[in-house]
Every structure is written in structure tokens, then in C-alpha cells.
Structure 1
């Protein structure tokens, strides 16, 4: 019986494991090793870690967790979970064979998966000159000619947001924009171009975007692409355990990352709209604080 099982080895899960390890809790961290930012060359906006490769940050975190003998890290995917009648949790793990582990509290830090544009050439530029978050990668492409891939309200909103970093912007909707006249006027007023032609492919050299080729044969020269797309929960464990989801599809969490399932916490990208590494790490720490407090109350009783 562990005090806590943490599912997810990203910044939220690793941060929680660190705090709980320092609280002398017995912790099992399960990591399927499929990080959302695997394609990224560096993470940004994290104090003292600005520009660090994501894999390096995870390596350093694991190395530092080695100092805490109560923390065990296992490279395994959690395939099922249930809350027992006594309030404890059972997690089924798969690391080449199924195994069930139990804990008093459970923290899900499994994150989300992005729906990527299905356009030829996108895989080559993803994480190198194609991004979904301007807060993470806008600075590196400031004042450059940028394209926005998206349509309807999401595409328009991202295009307007990017005016902070560049004024040479073109919204490429890959078909009808789906925008009312007022929104089209707003784009025009802010100097944002609009291309509704179907996109044939993204053309790049060594992962750096050079142009967007439309099905008409015409090309639009651009240096980087930001795309507006949906994301989804990377794991269905929260739903299986009975968590309420928001209209956007995030797990509904309260103070200190609590959920409406007693003893279950959700932290990181799966629970918040602000999806930054530093925010995920902070949420993991807050969840760990709350978990240790609840365990302490139970132990004292």
C-alpha cells in the first residue's frame, strides 16, 4: 500500500513527487513516457529553466527524486483504476505485464493530447517551426512573417493574440473561414491577412518552414506556423473514476486540484486552460500539499 500513486511523469507529476518525497510519503510515480512536448526543442517561461530541452528537465527531475527513498519511479502505463469501497485506490499498470498497485490517495497528471493538422509536411515542422502556444514559442519568432492555421473563432482568436509578437500575420483557414462579417472586419483592422484556399502542403528545409503551398499552386512565404486545434485527455482514468468534466473537456478541479471524487486529485494540463510547464509544476506542488495534509489528518485520527 502506497500513500500516493501519481500517474504521469511530466512537470505536474514530478513536482508532486518531489514535495511528497520531502514529506516522507511512500510514493509510486508511473510514467508512460509519452510527453505532450516530446517534439519541442526547448521549454520556455520557466524561471531558471528557460530554454531547457524538455527531456533534460525530466532527466534532472528524476535524478533529484533519487535522493528520496520513499519515491519509486516506474516506467509503466496505467490502464485502469478504481476506488475501493474503503476509499483507497487500485491502479492497473502495464509495463510488459499487468500488475495492480494500491494507494490511499491518487493523483492524475496525465495531461492532454493535441489534435494536429492533417496536412502534408506538418510532421517535419512540428516542434521546430510549428507550434500551438505563442507564450511558449512566440518570442523566438518575434517580428517574423507568421501563419496561423485554424478557422472560426479559435483561428481568429489565435491570430489576434499573435499581434503581440508580430504584425506580419496571415490566417490560413484551409477552406471557408466560418467567420461573420464583424470578425472579418476585425482581422482587417488589425492588419491580419486571410487565405481561405485549401492547403496542399507545408514546405520546409531542415524543419524550418519556408512556405505554405495552396492547392491552387500559389505559395505563401512564412517563417513559422502557429495552429489552433482542440486537445483531448490523454487518459480516460478520470472519467472512469467519475470525475466531472468541463464543457471544454478538462477535469473540473477545485482548490488544491481536488476533484469531486474523494481522495482523487488532478493536476497539470488535464485540469486547467493555462497550459504552461511552470503552471503544471505549481499545480503538482499544490496537489501534493493538499494530499499530505489529508494524509496527516487521517494518521492523527
Structure 2
């Protein structure tokens, strides 16, 4: 089958069009004929080698954490979606940039009335957004939320979900001042430039601060986020876009200022509590299909542009969600 992968870790230029064997579903798995594959920052990390060296068929690894498409086959003894059903799936072991992908039934859900292109951007981004808000963040109605990397896939999904869950105010930060004008279209009350968000957040909240901060950036942004927390405020960390080194928080500071730090890692949840991912995926697909949760259609590009898409994503030059139209090779 056709796929897009890499044989050595490195920059976007290592990605290439390849031919690899079509995977066979095992027990508890389904084979999906991929229509669209979502693009996520974790795939940049995968390509760079942050998850190890490639060791797939022929020495290639195929990125891709989420897909939509049609069930082509079920593994032995598998009770799951019917062959021919349109589904979306999370792929914790990657493999989505390909004509076919295998997924465990815990991570596969019918798309319902949601278009396949939109559904491809749901399985990774939306369960993560629900997870950082509800599971790790313990968001309650009436609270104020601050979202870093606000124009990205998780950020823009989290803004809308936070509002649907009853947040009173939703603010965000972006890496460039040019993006601050996107606030209304992305569901925010306001967006601030990330380099000077502290004063802006305290001003707009009359000095109280935010109840919940979602941070995939790390480094100085993570440290500064603690200073804008309201009493009993929480910072939820779920990434390290800036590739910063380890950071140790001062427990004395957390205690004396009634602050908390929590973590969310989708891979860990998928390993130890896979049903949670499936529940959030079903929740998101249903809310998006019904219109209860508004969303912006993704940017659809041919997979031949995989290297360029990775370059833009790595440079912070993307907005919202990008998906590859796997059937469109050119």
C-alpha cells in the first residue's frame, strides 16, 4: 500500500512516499481504508526521533495518530463496527499517513453525520481537549480558562469545549501578535501575545487570574502561568512545544499560594485507561455532528505536501486543523 514515512529521524525532508505491506488486523482490531489523516505536533516529534528510531516494515515508520475512513476488515473474533461503516480512529502506535491503518476497537467510533474530512481531525485533538479540561483540569461552570497555543488544533477545540462545559470566560495566547485578531472566530473572548500575557490576563480578570490554564508550551510560559492563577487555580501541562529542559516546581510555592499543577498524556491514558479515549471520541463526534459543539472545517491538503505541512507546523505557522486527503496523491 501507499504510505508516507521516514527511514531516519530528522527534518521534514526525511518524509517520503513509500510502499509498505498492508497491515492485517489482529484480535480486537479493525482495518480501516483511510480517507483522511489528521496532522498533529506529536507526529513532528515522532519524525524528529523523540519517540525513538524508526523500526517499522522495511525500516520505515509511518506517522499519523488519527484517521477517518471505512472499515475494511475485522480481526479474528472482533466484535466492533461493521465492515463498510464509516469511522474515525485514534492510532496510539501511529500509522495514519497510509492507505490502510489498523486500530483497536477501544479507539474506533462511527462518524455519524459528520463529514469524513472533519472527522479525521477529531480522534486525537478532541479527546485531548476533553481530557485536559474535564479529567486533569476539573473544569467547573463559571470558571475562567486560559489556553496557550490557542490557534492550534487542541487549543481551538478546547476553547469551544470549555464554553460548552460552562466556562464563563475563555482567553488564549498565541505566538505572534498577528494572530490575536482571530479570537472571535476561534471562540475566545480575547487572545494575547504569549510573550507578555501575564499583565494582560491579570488586567482582564481584574487581578483575580485564571482558574484553569492549559499549557502545551513549557519553559518560561509554564512558570509564568503559575503567577496568573486564581485561588485554587490549576495549570494542566500536556506537551512541550518549545522543547525545553526539565523544570521543577516549588512545592512550597504551590502550597503557600493555593496552586496546583496536573499533567495529561494521551498515550499514557490510551495504555492504562483506553475506554476514556473512546468515551471522549464518541462524545466529540456526537456533539460535532449535531452542531452542539461548533467547529471550523479543517484545511485539507494532498499528502504529497507532507514535508511542507510539517515545516509549517514546526514553525508555528498553522491555524486550526490540517488533514491529508489520502486518496488525493498529487
Q: Normalising by the residue count of structure 2, what TM-score does the alignment of the two structures yield?
A: 0.25
**Structure with greater helix share of residues:** 2
Question: Which of the two has higher C-alpha Rg?
Answer: 1
Q: Normalising by the residue count of structure 1, what TM-score does the alignment of the two structures yield?
A: 0.26
